[in-house]
Structure 1
Amino acid sequence: MSARDMVHPPRLRTVTQGSVFNHAKCQDFSSSVLGLFISARCDLAQQKQERFIYVPLVRAADWLDYYVFPKLFSEHHTSLLNALKTTLTQNKHCPSSIDTFGAERCASLLDGKALAQYQKKLSELEAITKMIQSGIYDKSALSSKTIKSKTDDLVSNKIEGAFFIDEIIDYQNGETRLGPYVAVLSEPSSIPRHIALEIADGLDHEHIIESRLSYGCIEAKRGEMSYVLCNVRSPYIELALQKFSALYSRIGVEDPSTELKNRIAKEAAL
């Protein structure tokens, strides 16, 4: 597998825009969470601010499991339900009967081939419903094409609120390759300047545990340290910042009417 060269070794005892550190805290994830500094370079270099901004980095597989697969299964559930309604419609029954009486009872309206087709989809629907309710998903229930469509969008950085990094490398630990990570741009957090500087020097978690100061941005563990693993290269860090800025600078306006869209389409076709 060929990974893009998106990170490089960090400068000694320095944090800058694009620096990646370990043991960061994240609202939705607890293991293997890293942090990506996104504050302006001048703020970090000149220590202008009392607090710096970072976004969490989580393993790509974890991000997909948490954010993407629940949505894919919900969409699949809707697709199966629509397929059942289509079967009813094709056999001259009201599709809204499913909403009123439930999909299982509506099977009694059918017979023969239509019933067999309906029952097959109904069985799939019941299985997907159980997965959604339990939060435990059998990914084989989804087509590989459906999954690849989403992973392709992620790797190509087409998903709003996320920035994909091909591979994080821990240059302070024998250039250990940690695999692909995703920056959760929708969850910026602040980190006090003194903690950022301690991370640049190598922050011993024993100090955190014994300290009376708050280190709420660090997931402290005995025997561990927080330090800068690598820096995200230019222009990738700028691309991440562009996506971050776009996420928070959106302006909501009224959608154009369907009538206007139709009229413009007709005029364009003349």
Structure 2
Amino acid sequence: MTRRLMFNCKNVKEISQGSVFNAAYCEGYESEEVLGLVITARCDIANENKVKTYSYIPAIPFKSWKEVELIDVLRKKVLKGINKKVENGLKQAKLTLIHLDIYGKEKVIKTIKEKKLLKKDKDIESLEKNLSSYFLIKDGGDFNELIKVFECEIKSIIKDISEGKDASYFLIDNIEGYGSVVVNLRDVYKLDRETAKKVLGGIEINETLDDNIYRAINKNIIGTCVCLIGALDSPYIELLMQRFTNNFSRIGVENPNANLSDSIIMECQ
């Protein structure tokens, strides 16, 4: 399958807006290799006297993102619907979610079968299936379990991110050596200028790195060489910055009255 050419692996001579370095620190991914995508304006980077630190946002390989953040996105998408299906199934058996919370799935199903609270086998099978989905999404499961049950929903999540319909994320189709990468547009970190200069030459992660100096580097990945690996190409860096800015420039206002259109029409009659 053809993927968009969004990333330039040859652009490693200098740090600019859109530059990406490896082994960036990102909360929640302390044992994983995350990339850092620089978002500081080019003019600020060029003017050494203007800023002491650059800003970067985490660009997380999908193979890591799916194990940490996917479950929360999936819950928001499907939990309400599954909850309703379970609630309706239990209601047919004259039970509620409270019974489920108290006694658990196995005992509830056993009681329904023994007391024949549901007459049709297909209703019992449907409830069992929905309960399995309910607890999988509620308690969390690994990707292989989730994809078996929620393949369509997970594909929809990826599609929404790739098409810019999820304001929290931006998808880079492919970075060589990392595959598809999910950029978190709401999580901003600092990269001090001195560390940035050293990244250009490469920094080997070892036990001697000073925690107070190299804060932007994930020091748990011992033996890794931190360096620039390339940059997000135009027009994708401009698109990413537009979506990033939208997260912080939106202004919340009171919703108009639901009957506003009726009121405006009445004024004209």
Q: When the two structures are superposed, what TM-score results if normalisation uses the length of structure 1? A: 0.79
**In structure 2, C-alpha distance between the alignment counterparts of 1:211 and 1:258, rounded to whole Å:** 58
Deviations along 1:237-265, one digit per CA (max 9) or x if unpaired, are 1111111100111211122333346x489
Structure 1 position 43 matched with structure 2 position 41: no
Asked if 2 retains the 8 angstrom alpha-carbon contact of 1:77 and 1:125, the reply is no
Moved more, 221-230 or 26-35: 221-230
**In structure 2, C-alpha distance between the alignment counterparts of 1:233 and 1:20, rounded to whole Å:** 11
1:118 is matched with which residue: 105, 119, 123? 123
> Residues 18 and 266 of structure 1: is their aligned pair in 2 closer, same or farther, counting only changes over 3 Å?
same
Moved more, 32-41 or 197-206: 197-206
Moved more, 146-155 or 16-25: 146-155
**In structure 2, C-alpha distance between the alignment counterparts of 1:86 and 1:146, rounded to whole Å:** 22
SS at structure 1 position matched to 2:55 = strand
Which blocks of at least 5 consecutive residues in structure 1 are unaligned? 170-176
**In structure 2, C-alpha distance between the alignment counterparts of 1:36 and 1:82, rounded to whole Å:** 40
- Residue matched to 1:174: none
Asked if 2 retains the 8 angstrom alpha-carbon contact of 1:22 and 1:33, the reply is yes
What displacement does 1:73 show?
Answer: 4.8
CA RMSD of aligned residues (A): 3.1
**In structure 2, C-alpha distance between the alignment counterparts of 1:219 and 1:51, rounded to whole Å:** 17
SS at structure 2 position matched to 1:183 = strand
The 5 A counterparts of 1:1-270 are: 1-8=1-8, 9-12=10-13, 14-30=14-30, 31-47=32-48, 48-73=50-75, 75-86=77-88, 98-99=96-97, 101-102=99-100, 104=108, 107=112, 110-113=117-120, 116-132=121-137, 134-137=139-142, 138-169=145-176, 177-206=177-206, 209-211=208-210, 213-220=212-219, 221-260=221-260, 263=262
Aligned residues: 251
Q: When the two structures are superposed, what TM-score results if normalisation uses the length of structure 2? A: 0.79
**In structure 2, C-alpha distance between the alignment counterparts of 1:236 and 1:179, rounded to whole Å:** 17
SS at structure 1 position matched to 2:242 = helix
Give aligned-pair identity as a percent: 26
Deviations along 1:65-97, one digit per CA (max 9) or x if unpaired, are 4323344356545434423444577x6x88xx5
Deviations along 1:94-123, one digit per CA (max 9) or x if unpaired, are 8xx52454493894684422xx34322332
Asked if 1 retains the 8 angstrom alpha-carbon contact of 2:83 and 2:134, the reply is no
**In structure 2, C-alpha distance between the alignment counterparts of 1:148 and 1:266, rounded to whole Å:** 43
> Residues 111 and 244 of structure 1: is their aligned pair in 2 closer, same or farther, counting only changes over 3 Å?
closer
